[in-house]
Structure 1
Amino acid sequence: MQQLSLALAVMLTAMPVMAQRQQLLLDGPWRFQAGDAKTAAELDDSTWARVVLPHSFNAVDGEAGGAYYRGAAWYRRVLQRPAAAAGRRQFLEFDAATMAAEVWVNGQRAGRHDGGYARFRFDITNLLRPGRNLLAVRVDNGTLPQVAPLGGDFTVFGGLVRPVRLIETDDAHIELLDHGGPGVQVDTEALTSAAAQLKVRVQLRNDGALPARRLLRLTLRDAAGRTVLQQSQAVELPASAAHAASVQLNLAKPHLWQGVFDPYLYRLSAELLQGTSVRDNVLLPLGLRQVAVDPQRGFLLNGKPYPLHGVNYFHPGRPGHGVAVGDAEVDEDLRILMELGVTGLRLVHYQHPPRVYERADELGLVLWTEIPLNAAMSEAPAFRDNLFQQLRELVRQNRHHASVAVWGVGNEVYRSDDAIRDLLGELHRLAKQEDPARLTTYAHCCAPDDHPMALQTDLASYNRYWGWYDGEFTDIGPWADRLHAKLPAKPIGLGEYGAGASVLQQEDPPKRPQPGARWHPEQYQALFHEAYARQLSARPFLWGHFVWLGFDHASAGRNEGDAPGINDKGLVTYDRHFRKDAFLLWQAWWQREPVLHLANRRASPRPAGTVAVKAYSNGRQASLEVNGKPMGTVPVVDRIATWPAVPLAPGRTTLRVRDERGATDSIEWDIQP
């Protein structure tokens, strides 16, 4: 039977009984076994593997291509607890468990959660006992008919893929059981450069047997930590009941959140006091901004056009771990994407780790985040109810983030009948009911552009791959013009566009590859994005456009490019080691800092002869040298400088480029006879 390490046992036993909310990370050790079992309490876990969270049992087979294990698995661990202090509550918090989770404490069922990507909590106060406590969790990543997603072009990594915590707080506390949300909701009722009018709603709960009188104190601090507002009010909390308190805050001369140009954040703390003692507290970031979309001018931030462009970001997965990674991987990914120059991200195709939303607030990234209605749907009431649950969780857990601008209600459902139209309409209405201030969209692919299913939400978004799956590169601009003329009052944008590429496969100039084949030369992806960049930049009416993908990701059903089990349309490789040429092309379009990059650096060895050389730049002109010999200065057109006929002789050859700002880049090619 599992025994805690001495250090962790001491830490748990000594967990202080304090007035304020306490959190304890339950990262390990856990016992784990794939497969099902009869009961939670009568298992012999002595031979099970020891694991540390986050953990996925598909970290190997989910990345190999083809079939991978989808089904039940068990996690167990022991908690040593002192006798519970009077007037305290204990909750288990899961940041995600894929796809469904059932939890037992000491053989008694604490609850079940359906949905693999949102935070959820259970009150386990009455299930804990002094001393040894056994925690058991059954997860299941099989295809469950009532749980979204029912399909999708990605591996469904099973397990406790995000952190688990034990939370302890006072009987009278800020609500913890509202769909995993923080219990504090902030609405901006009016916002100008002169003043901000905020309505703060705090959900409270008293689980005690007697009524409680408390003081609710709200404090707003600026980015330097200085208090700029503080307001308090007495609250009477009935026994064993919920209560909601509303407070109006008026802030003079607010400092606005201006996206990547000035991501200014206040901090709002909500404290519940008994006398002078803080009994519970929640701290939230607060960015003051307004978002809107104009069918002609595109995305508006604080009333002004804001260039919204970026990538589809799947998950900070890594080889050998799948999606069971932590904050460090999120931070690395966002550093790379800020280097790229994105102003926004589409978070696909499900709710992302909390760290993504937190860092997006701080970096100024505008987010489109969505629920996992993807590829397939069921008309069963239980499936609809699960979608509604996952949408409520997405909104209530993330509506306090300034970065979140768009709620996505689905992606590429492969049917176009009344059922999907009605479902998308219902989801739109629920999102607006939950959060009237933000916009909604659906990523449409597979029916006519003006089909009713594409128009149920505030914004129309389309996934288009001309030049990859069908059509030609040059189709994207005329398509956008025709649709804009047909739907002049509807904001339209591009949810996805992209092409596959392997850094191990080089062909210059490339022939058009087959999407499902094993040859995806890096050069073709670059040509694809060169063409799209020219056309999209000339159409400011698009409310946003997002490259598919930022990073290659695991997709067990694929067998193409240089490896099975990978969708290789990323601008960066799955291991994050290589930025593909298309990354540098978009960097030249999006980055404000100087960019100069010689393309085709991996296209070596190559034959002698005459070759076209190109560089990506956000400068005005660039000069090329080959082995120190000048090849001329050319203008930069659509972020590309081209030398169409450069002679290359056999031997080791150095190419060096310089622009008018002094930026340089160089590569070496092995030129063979």
Structure 2
Amino acid sequence: MRSIEVLNNGWTFVKDATDAAAAALAAQRGAGTAVQLPHTWNAEDGADGGNDYYRGTCWYVRKLALPELTAGEEAWLEFDGVAMSARVYVNGVPLAEHEGGFSTFRVDVTSAIEQARAAGADAVTIVVSVDNSSNDRVYPQYADFTFYGGIYRDVKLVIVPATHIALGYHGAPGVRVTPEVALGGGEAPATAVVTVDAWVEGSATEATLSIAGEADGEQRTWKTTVPVEAGHAQAVFHISAARLWDGVVDPYLYTATVSLPEGDQVSVRFGCRSYEIDPGRGFILNGRPYPLRGVSRHQDRAGVGSAITPEMMAEDVAIIREMGANTIRLAHYQHAQAFYDLCDEAGICVWAEIPLITMHLPNGDDNARSQMRELVLQNYNHPSIVVWGLSNEITAASTVNDELLQLHRDLNDLCHELDATRPTTMANVFMLDTASPILEIPDVNSYNLYFGWYVGEMSEADEFFDTYHATYPDRAIGFSEYGADANPAFHSDAPQAGDYTEEFQCLYHEHMLKMIDERPWLWATHVWNMFDFAADGREEGGKDGQNQKGLVTFDRAIKKDAFYLYKAAWSDEPVLHVCGSRYTDRPSETTEVKVYTNQSAVELFVDGERLDGKAGGHVLTFEVPLGAVGSEHVVEARAGELSDRITLRRVAEPNPAYSLGAAAPVDNWFDEIVIDPSCYSIKDTLDEIRRSPEAGAVLDRIMAEGASSRGDVATSVKDNPDLQRMLGKMTLESLFKRGGGSTDQLKGINEVLQRFKKVEA
């Protein structure tokens, strides 16, 4: 029988050692730190800003008592996630290397255990070197998130009979299930043809394959014994009235089991579903339109980094489902098997991808192919996964040349070779020309657009998709990233891009939600991001080391107001939320109070007195008088038995704690000075300023400094010609507001530009 023991206890972490022997000796002498897995050494410094978190080689050491191996049994170590490159030693002997920080790999340690027992030992020493240092061959290397180092997922000891279901094939489970569903017409039930494949290592001659689940409303088991030929067994089962995996409506799962006479057995779950992605109708699940509307997710969280627990994963899924999302883009790498399981159970449709991101590494092509092979093979059985993602924003800092195109063709072909049932996709950077040949490679496409935040105006997202859809009516297109940073401490009565207020984040998502609702042909949309996440190179928005585009904070403690906008639009639960609970001190005589709801009508009360009532739509706004300075008011929304309230206080001056000190006063100071229109000012576009070599040089210095404050990704993409073309149309004032600079800085820049006479076009 197969036995599995989790080896998360008893590890020693050694930060500095010259080799495996030195690491083992340090652990023996007590020089290391006792740790329990999952563990990362970047839990703190990976999210505190400065882009200086530790990247290098560290060591993990553990004693393993010799297991009893009988009748030719084998022992394997299974590592669920070691970031980013790993080398495994047993008793000083190197047994395996693995490059790629997000997938499962296994190491056969049978011989090492037998040799130790023959030498009279009662234990072996496991040493794992773990390296997250910068290199040119292992993805990711350039991206807007922290590359945590560590053994941050489980390690297991797996003992199997000599003849067993394969353990040595790219970390895959050894069992593959392929359901093909035929939908019934009218009231006729769906039928499914389910092919179960198993791969066997050893001398097996036969295997018993079975599936269990519901048909015609009853629990059934289908079973057959088939020969094993060349290490492979296959059986085909017919389910005449299958219960479908039907997204969040009914995420029903069947179980397939493979058993060998020698005693090994493996079970996997799967779902029977039919889907297609149509350029005009969007995502179709089990024969009906099923718009995929959801979020992206990074796996880390405050205080623990990437070393998250199953309970934390379950909490993430619960929050996502509370909001009503039915899809998750699992960015930008393979996530834990436990999380895919949770998505299967919750009915969430998943975009799964590899970390081929931002910049092409010519020496990393083999690694990209390896990570894709592992992603597909290890996750094939999950019904939640509906697309394989080839890359993310890979043209941000790379030219679309023959090498990049060929790599994507290879990855696309590899996906279809390993899995003929799922389409491929890409997340394309917003400045990529829609005529680029790279868009012709995957089956469907999506774009990451940040109009209204980084560049341009929100309405440009509407224009982009309408133009794309009209130009390429036979191509399916999705919205793979969109978002605006918000620090829940920052607030404004006059929100604008770059102020990091909750209020601007709300305005941004209100626009994008409306835009999405009006375009049902968008096959999938994913908010960037569900949760704030670590990006140690960022120094902005009042929280260094974080990307704050999340609808929920990094510690999962605060659901920002925009969270409730989506909950009102997507959830079936009754929703009534008054925005602005963290914006208590307000300087105006009258203030806007916004309510997000899915109720038919809402009444607003101030200090118990009815102020107004409104109906229709998910976003309702009310003008609330605040009275004299120092007065405090309870503002309450009611809809039937639902109610929600906030407290507001009238103050004489804006509370400085609510502002980054950036954008709000910027326009006002122009009333106090005179700008010479014959000279450059921040009111001019970047293209206009660059007509002057002297003024252009000043601008280039400003842009370089701004890029450096947003981490190495911003620095690496700043020379992208498509990005420069977009930025060139913006005024320096508009761009500066979005960068979070101060009024004094803006004044100083304007004074410098006023020294240079304008050059005629």
> What is the TM-score of this pair, normalised by structure 2?
0.81
- Report matched runs for 1:168-187 at 5 Å: 168-187=159-178
Distance in 1 separating the partners of 2:20 and 2:400: 43
| 1:625 counterpart = 2:605 | yes
| 1:476 counterpart = 2:461 | yes
Shift of 1:546: 0.4
Contact 2:12 2:61 in 1 (8 A): yes
Structure 1, 345-354 or 30-39: larger mean CA deviation:
30-39
Aligned to 2:725: none
Aligned to 1:353: 336
Shift of 1:472: 1.0
- Report matched runs for 1:225-304 at 5 Å: 228-235=220-227, 243-274=231-262, 279-304=263-288
- Report matched runs for 1:111-150 at 5 Å: 111-128=96-113, 129-130=116-117, 131-150=122-141
Distance in 1 separating the partners of 2:204 and 2:278: 49
Shift of 1:447: 1.8
Is the strand fraction higher in 1 or 2? Answer: 1
Structure 1, 63-72 or 608-617: larger mean CA deviation:
608-617
Shift of 1:190: 4.1
Distance in 2 separating the partners of 1:504 and 1:373: 34
Which amino acid counterpart does residue 37 of structure 1 have in structure 2? T
Shift of 1:139: 0.6
Secondary structure at the residue paired with 1:563?
coil
String of CA shifts for 1:19-44, please: whole Å, max 9, x gaps: x1100000111111113423447633
Aligned to 2:351: 368
Q: Quick one: structure 1 residues 625 and 645, their matched pair in 2 at CA, closer, same or farther if it must change by over 3 Å?
A: closer
Q: Quick one: structure 1 residues 195 and 236, their matched pair in 2 at CA, closer, same or farther if it must change by over 3 Å?
A: closer
> Where does structure 1 lack aligned partners over 5 or more consecutive residues?
1-19, 514-518
- Report matched runs for 1:417-566 at 5 Å: 417-418=400-401, 419-445=403-429, 446-513=431-498, 519-566=499-546
2:142 to 127, 151, 166: 151
String of CA shifts for 1:584-631, please: whole Å, max 9, x gaps: 111111111111111111111222511122101112221111001211
> Where does structure 2 lack aligned partners over 5 or more consecutive residues?
184-188, 653-761
Distance in 1 separating the partners of 2:171 and 2:226: 26
Contact 1:223 1:266 in 2 (8 A): no
String of CA shifts for 1:434-484, please: whole Å, max 9, x gaps: 111111111001321231112310111100011100111222222211110
Which amino acid counterpart does residue 261 of structure 2 have in structure 1? L
- Report matched runs for 1:566-645 at 5 Å: 566-637=546-617, 639-644=618-623
Which amino acid counterpart does residue 358 of structure 1 have in structure 2? D
Which amino acid counterpart does residue 422 of structure 2 have in structure 1? R
String of CA shifts for 1:43-101, please: whole Å, max 9, x gaps: 33221111100000111111111211101000001111144212201100000100000
String of CA shifts for 1:368-406, please: whole Å, max 9, x gaps: 0100001111223xx211111110110111110010001
Which amino acid counterpart does residue 662 of structure 1 have in structure 2? E
Distance in 2 separating the partners of 1:370 and 1:318: 20
Secondary structure at the residue paired with 1:564?
coil
String of CA shifts for 1:104-124, please: whole Å, max 9, x gaps: 111111100000000110111
Shift of 1:543: 0.3
Shift of 1:487: 0.5
- Report matched runs for 1:330-409 at 5 Å: 330-380=313-363, 383-409=364-390
Structure 1, 501-510 or 487-496: larger mean CA deviation:
501-510
Aligned to 1:203: 199
Distance in 2 separating the partners of 1:166 and 1:337: 33
Contact 1:222 1:267 in 2 (8 A): no
Contact 1:350 1:371 in 2 (8 A): yes
Secondary structure at the residue paired with 1:273?
coil
Which amino acid counterpart does residue 266 of structure 1 have in structure 2? Y
Secondary structure at the residue paired with 1:558?
coil
Structure 1, 35-44 or 427-436: larger mean CA deviation:
35-44
Equivalent residues, number:
632
Which amino acid counterpart does residue 348 of structure 1 have in structure 2? A
Distance in 2 separating the partners of 1:234 and 1:298: 41
Secondary structure at the residue paired with 2:318?
helix
Aligned to 1:658: 638
Contact 2:215 2:242 in 1 (8 A): no
Aligned to 1:15: none
Larger-gyration structure (1/2): 2
Distance in 2 separating the partners of 1:376 and 1:196: 42
| 1:88 counterpart = 2:70 | no
Distance in 1 separating the partners of 2:20 and 2:48: 32
> What is the TM-score of this pair, normalised by structure 1?
0.91
Shift of 1:351: 0.3
Secondary structure at the residue paired with 2:439?
helix
Which amino acid counterpart does residue 372 of structure 1 have in structure 2? P
**Identical columns (%):** 37
Contact 1:217 1:273 in 2 (8 A): no
Secondary structure at the residue paired with 2:39?
coil
Distance in 2 separating the partners of 1:226 and 1:356: 29
Q: Quick one: structure 1 residues 443 and 596, their matched pair in 2 at CA, closer, same or farther if it must change by over 3 Å?
A: same
Secondary structure at the residue paired with 2:192?
strand
Which amino acid counterpart does residue 303 of structure 2 have in structure 1? G
Distance in 1 separating the partners of 2:508 and 2:160: 55
Contact 1:311 1:549 in 2 (8 A): yes
Distance in 1 separating the partners of 2:274 and 2:509: 31
Aligned to 2:689: none
Aligned to 1:319: 302
Contact 2:213 2:253 in 1 (8 A): no
Contact 1:611 1:648 in 2 (8 A): no
Structure 1, 360-369 or 25-34: larger mean CA deviation:
25-34
Contact 2:20 2:89 in 1 (8 A): no
Distance in 1 separating the partners of 2:433 and 2:479: 15
Which amino acid counterpart does residue 604 of structure 2 have in structure 1? L
String of CA shifts for 1:269-296, please: whole Å, max 9, x gaps: 211124xxxx111111111001210101
Contact 1:508 1:603 in 2 (8 A): no
String of CA shifts for 1:471-514, please: whole Å, max 9, x gaps: 1122222221111000100000000000000011111231332x
1:164 to 139, 155, 161: 155
Aligned to 1:3: none
Contact 2:148 2:306 in 1 (8 A): yes
Which amino acid counterpart does residue 105 of structure 1 have in structure 2? V
Secondary structure at the residue paired with 1:585?
helix
Is the helix fraction higher in 1 or 2? Answer: 2
Q: Quick one: structure 1 residues 470 and 234, their matched pair in 2 at CA, closer, same or farther if it must change by over 3 Å?
A: closer
Structure 1, 159-168 or 36-45: larger mean CA deviation:
36-45
Secondary structure at the residue paired with 1:43?
helix
Contact 2:207 2:233 in 1 (8 A): no
